[in-house]
Each structure stands twice: as C-alpha cells, then as structure tokens.
Amino acid sequence: MILDVGGVSFSYRSKEVLREVEFKAESGEVLGILGHNGCGKTTLLKCINAALSPCGGCVEVDGDPVGEMSKREIAKKMAVVMQTTSVTFPFTVYETVMMGRYSRIEALGGEGEEDAKAVYRAMAETETVRFADRYIDELSGGERRRVMIARALAQEPGALLLDEPTLHLDINHQFDLMELIRRLAAERGMLVVLVTHDIVLAARYCDRAIMMREGEIAAAGPVGEIVNAENLREIFQIEADVAHDERFGIGVTIVGRAGGKKRDAGREG
C-alpha cells in the first residue's frame, strides 16, 4: 500500500489548522506524526481516513482518492483507533472485535468462518483472546486499548492509523503496545501511521517521523536524521540529549525546557 498525502489543507471555519501538508508512506513502515497539542496532528489523521474533507489537496491510497471512496471501501483499506473510543453497550470482547468485520460481511450473509478466523487472529496478535467472553467495560484502559486495536485488525486493512495510542497508559504498557505496533508492521506488512506527542517512544519505535508545528511540516525524514537536539530545541522548545544505542536504537533524554536550567535527571528511552 502507498499512502499519498498531497498538499492537504484544512480549516475549521476561519481557523486554519493544516497548511499544505504533503508526504508519502508505504506498507511495512511505522510513521510517527509528532507535535504539540493543537498543531493539527489529529485533524490530519481524520483527513487521511476521510472523516474530514480537506479544504485543499488530496489523500490517495494506491492512486485512488480517499474522498471518492465509500466508508466500506475505506474500511477495507484503513483502520483507525482514536484516543477515546466509547462502547455504549456492554458487548463482550469477541463481539466488539467482530464489529471490525462490518466492511467484509455481506449484508445478508451474516458472520462466517472466515470472519471468526480473522477475529481470533486479531485477538491472538493483541493477546486479548483470554478476554473473549468478558465485557469490554470490565477491562482496564490498557486492555481496552488492545481490544480496540484488535477490532481494527479484524478489518484486515492495509494501513492502521493510531491517535495517541499510549496516552494514559502505565509506562510498562506503553512499551508493550509499541512493541506490538512494530510487530504488526513487520509481520503483517502493514503501514502504521502513529500520531503522538511522545518523542521518546517515537524515536525508539518509528522508522520515519514528521514533526509538525502550527499546521505545517517543520521537519520530516528517518528518525535517525530528524530526531536531534537542534530540531527538538527549535520545534518542541526542549533541551534533550540524543544518542544511538545498539540495543534500542535512538534514545532521547529530555533534560529541560529550552532556555531553562538543565536538570540531572530526565526521561530516557
């Protein structure tokens, strides 16, 4: 799959949120979209999956404009997991994941053997099979996040779009989830587009990154090239030490706000 975001702009009434955002991404890679809250990251994700219609530019998947596809066609190409996903009724985990099959099930055919196989494969990959008969509202935040990713995987999409997937998770669950995302890209050959403000995790787990500032791309490229002290100071207003580790890849230690007094301790990744 090739995702082509071509000069996308978007405004909420008179407020310009995105300004000619342009990039390409393809199967098997994890692309991180980084930036402060309010810089347009989530709006960009919604433009990619046609939840919002750009004011300018176009989003294409394998050469086909997303804006001309039906919701069912988009769901076969892309699956999205937003920050907060509410489940109004107490469905079981199995029922919740099966909801991801709506674009694959024929209107009069009902669920079949292939649908059940896809659901169990998705639950196995996300380690949620043991929750199959439990109600979704009984699970912890981390468990529920994995179920929502399983539901997205049950769609069998070519691309997985994630909006702040590690938000509000304990640190150990953050690493578990990012390891899962890397495996999905490698084993399923999926394109994963990851919106996050967590520079440490993005540097460690993403292949490429886009750094956004006020609705525009401020820097883009392989994480090893653009995650550096200069960009972190210029774009994120933080002082950080960036090192390359043979075991873990790129490690970022945030030592303070740009222009402020450095501290001895920082978060490492």
What gap in Å lies between CA 116 and CA 124, rounded to an integer?
A: 12
Between CA 150 and CA 144 the distance in angstroms is 10
Helix (H, G, I), strand (E, B) or coil at 215: coil
Query: Are residues 42 and 18 part of one domain?
Result: yes
Are 96 and 178 found together in one domain? yes
Q: Which amino acid is at 183?
A: R
Q: Residues 130, 83: one domain?
A: yes
Chain mean pLDDT for the chain: 90
The reply to whether 83 and 149 lie within a common domain is: yes
d(CA 88, CA 107): 23
Domain that holds residue 41: 2-227
Residue 121 has pLDDT above 50, yes or no: yes
Name residue 249's beta-bridge partners.
245
Same domain, 186 and 242: no
Same domain, 179 and 268: no
CA atoms within 13 A on the CB side of 261: 2
What DSSP assignment string belongs to 65-123?
EGGGS-HHHHHHHEEEE-S-----S--BHHHHHHGGGTTTS-TTT---HHHHHHHHHHH
For residue 87, the Cα-to-chain-centroid distance in whole angstroms is: 20
Burial of 68 from C-beta contacts in 10 A (0-12 / 13-18 / 19+): exposed
Give the separation between CA 230 and CA 114, rounded to whole angstroms: 50
Residue 62: CB atoms within 10 A of its CB come to: 11
Residues 219, 250 within the same domain:
no
One domain, residues 241 and 193: no
Supply the CATH number for residue 44's domain: 3.40.50.300
Cβ contacts of 113-120, under 8 Å, gap ≥ 24: 118/154, 118/156, 119/94, 119/150, 119/154
Number of domains in the chain: 2
* Amino acid occupying residue 33: I
Which range, of 23-32, 52-61, 171-180, averages the lowest pLDDT? 171-180
Answer yes or no: do 197 and 237 share one domain. no
DSSP 267: B
pLDDT band, very low/low/confident/very high, at 267 (cuts 50, 70, 90): very low
Instruction: Kindly tell me if the per-residue pLDDT of 33 is higher than 80.
Output: yes
Q: Do residue 127 and residue 209 come from a single domain? A: yes
User: Around 139, how many Cα atoms within 13 Å sit in the side-chain half-sphere?
Assistant: 23
Q: Over pLDDT 70: what percentage of the chain?
A: 93
Q: What is the mean pLDDT of residues 8-30?
A: 95
142 and 121 co-located in one domain: yes
The model's pTM is 0.89
108 and 203, same domain (yes or no):
yes
The 10s digit of each residue's pLDDT in 161-197 is 999 999 888 888 899 999 999 999 999 999 999 999 8
Any bridge partners for residue 208, and if so which? 31, 222
